[in-house]
């Protein structure tokens, strides 16, 4: 068996590439030069050209259009399923400890205080069924930034699309929706929300629903307190967090960690009336009436934005609260 | 904040090609169906992190290639079985013109040769020769350099050359209903 000359061995890769239309111009020139003088390689070159012709024919579809369509149909259904389960999340530090934010295709589905923890295992996301959590910084980045602005007091609204899938029932969803309507700087009570949703006797159920609020801060359950003004619970027993969130909005609370109450004498009061008048806390006995029917307001600007006018008796416009 | 384009657009533009790619590599419709779907489900999870400059097509091929390789790794036995099964190629049309019949025969032989190639060579060959990916992209798909990718294609062509040895081929041109060689 005759051995191939070294030059032929060395040029083989270029020859194959050139014959199959896959070589750099320099290599093509070298190959052309070589096969001009070398008959066996010229034959090889021709042979690879022929093979390339057959290879080109492989480009015709190996699969019938209907099997492509069937695969596509299956994909659509699996994608829809994935989309409905997939939530992307991220844990990040904040002045209130680590916070996890998760969102689905539909909107933000979870905001959770994790305290010292930074891992998914500490989150309720790891325990709910039918949810496929995926860490995804990019998705959550903008939400994270807005939340920090909010906590600094540089932003008064978080206009996020919400996905209430983690609410435990339709009743809970109704409560969350009513709570989401309470504006920045306003405070009402569990009883007030119960009345609002047409179930005045369901105060305790409202409190339970808010205890399981999957979207604290965004659905501002910190603006909902006891009728007496007591802050009651928050994120377990973290009344301090509630106090801080209210303080950012200009709602002050006094007292101990276990018995904190909003300082009603520092807030404007609105007891529903046909004239839409809001009052100073010193107007008659208004500061002793239960919160719920009475809404507390941090500022006159807020009262104005809600379409309220100063009471003609106590004149909050002439004697604004200075504390 | 969102990915480069709506994901539905990506599916619409690339699903058929990715399916055909995997279909050719695995030669089983059910596997191809599953692996192509899996490719897009993976892509869906990650596409928001793609930069605007990303080559989505090459990226999808890389995911598909990766999944296919893992699939073969974990199912080596099945692979052997289906290799044996896949050798039964399509029959040449005996009534067609002589050139065409010869061409089909060569094509069938080529297909079975390609199926018998070592996986990396097979993938590199198909990515380059059927789907026109550049060697950089093929290298990324196969976790190797562009040069190694080129070498895989070269080795694949050599084997094809050997397997077609002594087989008469139509000189340089293919029948008119086939795509022309580049």
Mean pLDDT of B54-80: 85
A138 → closest Cβ in B49, B111, B114:
B49
Do B106 and B73 fall within a single domain?
A: no
A20 → closest Cβ in B11, B157, B164:
B157
Do B24 and B109 fall within a single domain?
A: no
Do B109 and B82 fall within a single domain?
A: no
Do B97 and B114 fall within a single domain?
A: yes
Do B177 and B98 fall within a single domain?
A: yes
Domains of chain A and CATH, by start: 6-57 (no CATH), 61-166 (3.30.160.70), 168-310 (1.10.10.10)
CA distances from A315 to A280, A302, B17 (A): 8, 16, 74
Asked if the Cβ–Cβ distance from B171 to A50 is below 8 Å, we say: yes
Asked if the Cβ–Cβ distance from B164 to A13 is below 8 Å, we say: no
CATH code of B41's domain: 1.10.1740.10
CA distances from A222 to A246, A247, A264 (A): 7, 11, 16
- Cα–Cα distance measured from residue A246 to residue A99, given in angstroms and rounded to the nearest whole number: 18
Asked if the Cβ–Cβ distance from A71 to B170 is below 8 Å, we say: no
Q: Left (φ > 0), alpha (ψ -120 to 50) or beta: where does A265 sit?
A: alpha
Sign of the CA dihedral with A134 first, then A138, A144, and A146 last = negative
Q: With 70 as the cut, is the pLDDT of residue B103 above it? A: yes
Q: Is A199 exposed, middle or buried (0-12, 13-18, 19+ CB in 10 A)?
A: middle
Tokens of A194: 């119960």
Question: Are B147 and B124 a contacting pair, CB within 8 Å?
Answer: no
pLDDT value of residue B169 = 73
Q: List, in sequence order, the alpha helices (H) in chain A.
A: 6-19, 25-37, 39-57, 65-85, 137-152, 170-180, 190-196, 203-211, 239-248, 300-305
pLDDT value of residue B170 = 67
- Give residue B141's pLDDT band: very low, low, confident or very high (50, 70, 90): very high
Mean pLDDT of B45-58: 86
Do B168 and B116 fall within a single domain?
A: yes
- Cα–Cα distance measured from residue B99 to residue B107, given in angstroms and rounded to the nearest whole number: 12
Do B99 and B152 fall within a single domain?
A: yes
* Per-position DSSP letters for A206-238, written without gaps between them: HHHHHHT-SSTTTS-GGGEE-TTSB---BTTB-
Distance (Å) from the alpha carbon of B179 to chain A's nearest alpha carbon: 6
- Give residue B95's pLDDT band: very low, low, confident or very high (50, 70, 90): very low
Question: How far does Cα A257 stand from its chain's mean position?
Answer: 30
Asked if the Cβ–Cβ distance from A60 to B179 is below 8 Å, we say: yes
Asked if the Cβ–Cβ distance from B178 to A57 is below 8 Å, we say: yes
Question: Are A131 and A85 a contacting pair, CB within 8 Å?
Answer: yes
Asked if the Cβ–Cβ distance from B19 to A51 is below 8 Å, we say: no
Give chain A's length.
323
Nearest residue of B to residue A141, measured between CA atoms: B1
- Give residue B178's pLDDT band: very low, low, confident or very high (50, 70, 90): very low
| Structure ipTM over 0.90, yes or no | no
What is the DSSP secondary structure assignment for residue A235, as one 8-state letter? T
Where is average pLDDT lowest: A94-103, A154-163, B24-33, B109-118? B24-33
What is the total count of domains within chain B?
Answer: 2
pLDDT along chain A (323 residues), means of 10: 82 93 91 94 92 83 79 94 90 94 92 93 90 83 94 93 93 97 96 96 95 95 94 82 93 85 95 95 94 95 96 95 80
Which of B40, B59, B86 is where one domain is finished? B86
pLDDT value of residue A93 = 93
Do B169 and B101 fall within a single domain?
A: yes
Which of B57, B86, B115 is where one domain is finished? B86
Distance (Å) from the alpha carbon of B76 to chain A's nearest alpha carbon: 23
Model confidence, pTM: 0.71
Closest by CA to A157, choosing from A184, A192, A182, A177, is A184
- Cα–Cα distance measured from residue A209 to residue A169, given in angstroms and rounded to the nearest whole number: 9
Where is average pLDDT lowest: A237-241, B57-61, B102-106? B102-106
pLDDT value of residue A2 = 62
Q: Which residue range(s) make up the domain with B108?
A: 93-182
Chain B contact probe: residue of A27, A28, A58, A60 with most B CBs at under 10 A: A58
**A41 labelled catalytic:** no
Do B44 and B110 fall within a single domain?
A: no
pLDDT value of residue B92 = 38
Q: To which H or E segment does residue A224 belong?
A: strand A224-225
Tokens of A181: 């309507």
Distance (Å) from the alpha carbon of A88 to chain B's nearest alpha carbon: 9
Which of B78 and A14 is assigned the larger pLDDT? A14
Mean pLDDT of B88-117: 70
CATH code of B173's domain: 1.10.10.10
- Give residue B100's pLDDT band: very low, low, confident or very high (50, 70, 90): confident
Options A221, A279, A283, A311, the catalytic residue: A221
Asked if the Cβ–Cβ distance from B11 to A59 is below 8 Å, we say: no
Mean pLDDT of B97-110: 79
Asked if the Cβ–Cβ distance from B41 to A138 is below 8 Å, we say: no
Residues of B in contact with A133 (CB under 8 A): none
pLDDT value of residue B90 = 38
Closest by CA to A98, choosing from A85, A81, A111, A117, is A117
- Cα–Cα distance measured from residue A101 to residue A160, given in angstroms and rounded to the nearest whole number: 12
pLDDT value of residue B97 = 66
Residues of A in contact with B161 (CB under 8 A): 16, 47-48, 51
Where is average pLDDT lowest: A15-24, B34-43, B86-95? B86-95
Residues of A in contact with B16 (CB under 8 A): 68, 72
- Cα–Cα distance measured from residue A4 to residue A118, given in angstroms and rounded to the nearest whole number: 66
A82 → closest Cβ in B44, B150, B178:
B44
Which of B86, B108, B131 is where one domain is finished? B86
Do B125 and B165 fall within a single domain?
A: yes
Do B103 and B182 fall within a single domain?
A: yes
pLDDT value of residue A152 = 93
Distance (Å) from the alpha carbon of B137 to chain A's nearest alpha carbon: 15
Do B107 and B169 fall within a single domain?
A: yes
pLDDT value of residue B2 = 42
């Amino acid at each position: 068996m005759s051995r191939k000359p070294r030059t032929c061995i060395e040029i083989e890769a270029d020859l194959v590439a050139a014959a199959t239309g896959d070589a750099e111009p320099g290599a093509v020139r070298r190959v052309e030069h070589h096969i001009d003088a070398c008959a066996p390689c010229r034959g090889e070159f021709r042979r690879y050209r022929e093979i390339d012709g057959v290879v080109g024919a492989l480009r015709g579809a190996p699969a019938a259009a209907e099997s492509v369509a069937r695969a596509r149909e299956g994909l659509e259904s699996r994608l829809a399923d994935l989309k409905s389960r997939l939530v992307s999340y991220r844990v990040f530090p904040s002045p209130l400890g680590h916070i996890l934010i998760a969102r689905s295709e539909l909107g933000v589905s979870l905001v959770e205080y994790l305290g010292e923890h930074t891992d998914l295992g500490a989150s309720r996301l790891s325990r709910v069924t039918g949810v496929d959590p995926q860490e995804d910084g990019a998705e959550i980045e903008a939400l994270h930034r807005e939340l920090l602005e909010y906590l600094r007091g540089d932003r008064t609204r978080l206009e996020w699309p919400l996905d209430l899938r983690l609410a435990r029932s339709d009743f809970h969803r109704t409560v969350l929706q009513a709570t989401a309507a309470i504006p920045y700087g306003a405070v009402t009570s569990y009883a007030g929300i119960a009345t609002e949703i047409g179930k005045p006797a369901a105060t305790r159920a409202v409190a339970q629903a808010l205890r399981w609020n999957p979207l604290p801060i965004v659905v501002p359950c910190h603006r909902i307190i006891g009728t007496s003004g007591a802050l009651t619970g928050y994120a377990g027993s973290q009344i301090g967090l509630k106090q801080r969130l209210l303080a950012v909005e200009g709602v002050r609370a006094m007292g101990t960690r276990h018995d904190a109450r909003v300082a009603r004498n520092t807030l404007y009061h609105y007891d529903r009336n046909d004239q839409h008048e809001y009052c100073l806390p010193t107007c008659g006995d208004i500061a002793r009436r239960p919160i719920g029917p009475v809404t507390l307001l941090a500022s006159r600007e807020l009262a104005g934005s809600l379409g309220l006018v100063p009471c003609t008796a106590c004149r909050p416009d002439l004697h604004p609260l200075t504390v | 904040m969102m990915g480069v384009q709506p994901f539905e657009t990506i599916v619409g533009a690339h699903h058929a090609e990715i399916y055909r790619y995997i279909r050719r590599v695995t030669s089983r419709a059910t596997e191809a169906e599953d692996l192509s779907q899996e490719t897009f489900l993976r892509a869906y999870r990650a596409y928001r992190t793609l930069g605007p400059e990303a080559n989505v097509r090459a990226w999808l091929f890389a995911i598909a290639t990766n999944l296919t390789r893992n699939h073969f790794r974990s199912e080596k036995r099945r692979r052997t079985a289906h290799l044996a099964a896949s050798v039964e190629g399509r029959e040449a049309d005996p009534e067609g013109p002589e050139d065409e019949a010869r061409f089909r025969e060569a094509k069938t032989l080529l297909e079975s040769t390609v199926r018998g190639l070592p996986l990396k060579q097979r993938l590199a060959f198909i990515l380059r020769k059927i789907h026109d990916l550049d060697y950089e992209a093929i290298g990324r798909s196969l976790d190797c350099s562009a040069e190694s990718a080129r070498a895989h294609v070269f080795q694949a062509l050599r084997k094809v050359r050997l397997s077609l040895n002594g087989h008469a081929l139509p000189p340089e041109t293919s029948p008119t209903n086939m795509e022309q060689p580049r």
